[in-house]
Amino acid sequence: MNKIIVTLTLHLIISSPIVAQGLLDGYMKGKGNTDVALSASLESGSKFFIKNGTTNISRTISSINLFAAHGITENLDVVASLPYISNDGKESGLQDASLFLRLQLIEAMIKGVKVRFMLGGGYQLPVTEYKTENSFAIGQQGESKEIRGIVQLEKGSFFLMLKGGYSFRNNPNTDALPLVAKVGIAKEKYYVDLFVDYLGANGGGNYLPKEERGPFQELGVSFLRIGGNFYKPFTPRIGGVIGTAYTIDGRNIGQTLRISLGAVVKF
């Protein structure tokens, strides 16, 4: 069964590039198959991770995300997403579009375990002139080139996925190291996963203390999140997904809980 992805967008109180952590999973679409998903997320918290510890800053961020994935061949997919974000209702708009290619290089059986190895590459860029220099900004107006390596192990309906890569961001944004580990069960009647999601900024400024604060576009965003997703098909072509994620540590990011709901259509 092909896993259905509904992208759970990543948010920051001031400016957050969508790092495309969830755009590429370990399942290929298959030639000619297309998934289109529309999801809505609500993220809220009263704490904000700074350079050392947390401070009391509350935010409620809502988003709508359009996602599509298409199998060009059996071993090559194209994946795209476009989010609309509202930060406390003060700033809102379309944020950063993402376009990726995913190529499966290896699929082999080793002692009863299916092993897949994939490479992904993509590009992100802002699609509107949203503001960046205020505490309700929805992004950092940054362009980035993304590379990913994906290893997936499957035994029956159980799977383990490991993903890593690098985000090469244009100045003044800060490069970052994204890592994801995910375990789950993928069956015809349902799909469920649990994940750990890490992003480590390569330097960058800090929101607090104030003496270290520069332009918001230069802030380095790091986080450690845990969460999960559940997908249920209602018909052979239509299904629904619910997901949640909690930010347990980070820098220049809110300590938030996110809930997401989505609908998926397969063509």
CA angle 192/221/136 to nearest 5° reads 95
Q: What proportion of the chain, given as a percentage, has pLDDT over 70? A: 92
Cα 25 to Cα 141: distance, rounded to the nearest angstrom: 26
Instruction: Give 267's DSSP letter.
Output: -
Instruction: Give 5's DSSP letter.
Output: P
Strands in 133-205 per DSSP E: 144-155, 158-169, 176-186, 191-201
Quote the pLDDT of residue 215: 85
Cα 140 to Cα 95: distance, rounded to the nearest angstrom: 9
Paired residues of 262 in beta bridges = 39, 241
CA angle 54/59/60 to nearest 5° reads 140
Task: Evaluate whether 12 touches 85 at the Cβ level (below 8 Å).
Answer: no
Quote the pLDDT of residue 2: 46
Paired residues of 258 in beta bridges = 43, 245
Q: What is the pTM of this model?
A: 0.89
Cα 14 to Cα 137: distance, rounded to the nearest angstrom: 5
Q: Please state, in angstroms and as integers, the Cα–Cα distance from residue 240 to each residue in 36, 139, 230, 254, following that order.
A: 12, 28, 8, 27
Q: Look up residue 140 and give its two tokens.
A: 């950092």
Query: What are the φ and ψ backbone dihedral angles of 241, each rounded to 5 degrees?
Result: -135, 145
CA angle 6/11/13 to nearest 5° reads 160
How crowded is residue 70: how many other Cβ atoms within 10 Å of its Cβ?
18
pLDDT in tens, 246-255: 999 999 999 9
Query: What are the φ and ψ backbone dihedral angles of 131, each rounded to 5 degrees?
Result: -75, 150
Residues in the chain predicted with pLDDT less than 50, given as ranges, are 1-19
Q: Does domain 34-266 have CATH number 2.40.160.40?
A: yes
Quote the pLDDT of residue 85: 95
Closest C-alpha among 69, 45, 89 to residue 223: 45
Q: Where exactly are the structural domains of the chain? A: 34-266
Quote the pLDDT of residue 73: 97
Quote the pLDDT of residue 171: 86
The amino acid at residue 150 is I
Q: Please state, in angstroms and as integers, the Cα–Cα distance from residue 109 to each residue in 75, 98, 150, 242, following that order.
A: 17, 33, 17, 32
Closest C-alpha among 137, 150, 152, 50 to residue 100: 150
The amino acid at residue 26 is G
Quote the pLDDT of residue 21: 55
Quote the pLDDT of residue 209: 80
